[in-house]
A and B are shown apart, each in its own frame.
Chain A
């Protein structure tokens, strides 16, 4: 498709388990972002990739969170030893080149529920 695709759309996991969330950006977009949106809040930045490298990971809350983008297209957000507080919608966005003036296109998100 032409838009940003995220899978799965919903994920329920048990506390302590490991999860992977996938983002397929718009073809040709070099910049990719992950955000986390808790209920009733605005999205919060997690990590930014420019190509294959993480250019800014200052938003990752702790070392249980990790993300990769090995070939500069698809990205995977990985969460180890999940906690109930990790429950949120995880949004992915991509843009043509990154930078302040570039429009970011968002996927529909993955709703993660940790029980």
Chain B
């Protein structure tokens, strides 16, 4: 079975706090890809990052960082020094090599950053 679990339904933080969004995935495939998307109130899903299963290096992009650990099947996302504009729903998603790019999404985590 292929599945993505985002256990945190909603998170509320105060601006400038750091926040980590958790993502746990399940797949039997050895080749797969993991994604994070942001969905602001406008509704459009915005691509943030893609990692393949062979690259476990952590990645940092500005205030965003991602921690990929195959041993725990996790792909967590940290926002450092959060800002009000980070408020959105964040989705983690999985694509396995054989399924033509079909994204399997988690249920999403709603992040509210208060001023």
Contact = CB atoms under 8 A, between A and B. Distances in A.
11 contacts: A33-B102, A35-B103, A41-B108, A42-B105, A42-B107, A42-B108, A55-B100, A56-B102, A105-B47, A106-B44, A108-B43
A89 B43 contact: yes
B97 A100 contact: yes
Nearest to A44: B105
Contacts of B47: 103-105
Interface in B39-73: 42-47, 50, 52
A50 B103 contact: no
Interface of A: 31, 33, 35, 40-45, 48, 50, 55-56, 59, 89, 91, 93, 95, 98-109, 111
A100 B99 CA distance: 7
Contacts of B21: none
Contacts, number: 76
Interface of B: 4, 6, 31-33, 37, 42-47, 50, 52, 91, 93, 95-97, 99-108
B7 to A, nearest CB: 13
Nearest to A89: B43
Task: Report which residue of A44, A95, A104, A108 has the largest number of chain B beta carbons within 10 angstroms of its beta carbon.
Answer: A104
Contacts of B108: 40-42
Contacts of B37: 106
Nearest to B110: A40
A102 B37 CA distance: 14
A65 B1 CA distance: 25
A55 to B, nearest CB: 6
A41 B107 CA distance: 5
Contact of A42 (B32, B91, B95, B102): B91
B112 to A, nearest CB: 15
A100 B101 contact: yes
A108 B46 CA distance: 10
A50 B100 contact: yes
A104 B101 contact: yes
Contacts of B33: 100-101
Contact of B43 (A44, A98, A109): A109
